[in-house]
Every structure is written in C-alpha cells, then in structure tokens.
Amino acid sequence: MAAICIALVGPSAPSGAVFAGSLPVGDARDVVPNRVMTWNICNPCDASNAHRAAEIATHAPQVIGLQEACVGDVERIRRYLRSVHGLVYHVEYGMVLRDWGRCGGAPWNPGAFGQAILSAAPMTDHVKVEYPDGGSEHRGYMAVTTTVGGRTVRVFNTHLAQRRQEAVRADQAGVLAADVARHDRVILLGDLNAVPDAPELTRIWSLATDADPGCRPSSAGACEPTTDWQSKFDYVFLRGIAPLGHRVRPTPYSDHHVLRADLDTTPGP
C-alpha cells in the first residue's frame, strides 16, 4: 500500500529534490563544525536550487559563503537543505544590486543580488559594504561574527570586480583589507577574480594566508584551479586560524568549483 501511494503522489520532498544519499524529509543531520565553504553559484546559469542544495549538503559545512546569489534562490536552497538534507542554516545577505534580469520579481520590485553567508550557528554584528567603485557592476563585501570549530570568528564574503579591471580590484582589496586588519581571527571567503600572484591581492596576502598551505603568490602555478577555465579565483583566506585540509570539487552547476576547508581555530588569542 505504501508503495502504491508513493507511485500515485510521488515523493514528499520538493520537486526535483530526490538525490542519491539524501536524507528522508525531516531527518536531522550535523554539519562539520570546523568546515567552511565558498562557492560562486553562477548567475545567470541554468541550475536548479535543488541541485545547488545537494552540492552544499555533500560537504555539510558550518559556514558557506555564496556569490552571484539572488535572495529568492538562497531561500529556496535553505528550504531544500532543511527539508531534504536535514541541514538547518541561518542566513545574512550582502546584496548590492536589485536586478530583475538576474533575480526576477516585478519590474518595479526586482530581486536582490550579491553575496550571502549561511551559518549553522547564529550570526551577529552583520555589516554590508558597497565598494566605492564597483567597476562594470556594483560589488561589495559583507561580514558577520559567528562560530566555527567552537570559536568565535569574523567571517567575510566578497566578490571583487570582473576580470580586466585590475586597478578597480586593487582599490576594492584595499577597502576590504582595512576591515580585515581590525580582527585577530578572520575567515575571508570569496571570488576575487584574480590569480594568487596578481598585484591587486598584495594587501590581502599581507594579512592572511590561503587555506591551501602550498598556495602562495610566489608559487601561483601550484595553486589548484577553482574555475572551469583553470584559474584560481576563489579563496578561503585565514588570519589567526590554521588550515587542516582543503578540497576543490568541480560541479556541473556552476562555472566555479566548490572550495571547502577544514580549520583549526585554536591558534591566536
């Protein structure tokens, strides 16, 4: 009888949300408490939020930084994470655009577009900053205080100006670095649109290190690519925190790979 009912009405998960390895609806699942992740989810791209949620659930990070995100998409991703995969996240937004073409909505009330941070722990002291010069598109950064690995950390998420705008990115990185420098324990996530040895990232490198211990400006060729065009543009920068491991995972749902890092948050005060 149960099989007949399922055949008639279909699965109880949202449409398109049945995946190998998914948890039954309502089953709770723990995140990895010392794991963070950054992902430019690509917009506009023909990817379902159910698949995006499944990709995130594969890694189950404590904190996720998303770029090129619409509020509506993020809310749907959160619903799939909770109802299908048993993962519950708080959210804060750092939106800098209201864009009907990217995010839908009514022409007079378009959807918001920019960055988002999802955290399994509550977040406080949320700020969002639009860069004085966004380049060809408005860009900015956001920051929150939350818990990773049992310690309080300041988490930043940003998306710097598009390629071939080196001077603009340098100015943006300077604005961001001034805020990062105010904190002893920082995780900086984001799509910086620059390779590790790009001069515009000098200020960031002076304050933090990459979660990949082998990736430095002087060894840029050894840094693992994070995009479909084989460049490293995505970063987990650490200040006052030590890396334990990292992984780059290509995904069919974006032109950027998923980048995750497991961290030791005990160094520092």
Count of C-beta atoms within a 10 Å radius of residue 117: 27
- What mean pLDDT do residues 237-252 have? 97
- What mean pLDDT do residues 24-39 have? 81
Q: What tokens does 17 get?
A: 């949300």
Q: Is the pLDDT of residue 264 over 60?
A: yes
Quote the pLDDT of residue 267.
60
Counted residue by residue, the chain has a size of 269
Q: Is the pLDDT of residue 11 over 70?
A: no
Q: What is the per-residue pLDDT across 133-151, written as a single tens digit (0 to 9) for each?
A: 999 899 999 999 999 999 9
Quote the pLDDT of residue 238.
98
Quote the pLDDT of residue 219.
82
Portion of the chain with pLDDT greater than 90, in percent = 81
Q: Is the pLDDT of residue 194 over 50?
A: yes
Count of C-beta atoms within a 10 Å radius of residue 194: 23
Report residue 223's pLDDT band, with 50, 70 and 90 as the boundaries.
Answer: very high
Q: What is the per-residue pLDDT across 95-116, written as a single tens digit (0 to 9) for each?
A: 999 988 889 988 888 999 999 9
Burial classification of residue 218, based on how many CB atoms lie within 10 Å of its CB (0-12 exposed, 13-18 middle, 19 or more buried): exposed
Q: Is the pLDDT of residue 67 over 50?
A: yes
**What Å distances lie between residue 77 and 41, 92, 125, CA to CA?**
11, 14, 24
Dihedral (C-alpha) 129, 133, 135, 139: value to the nearest 10 degrees? 0
Q: What is the mean pLDDT of the chain?
A: 90
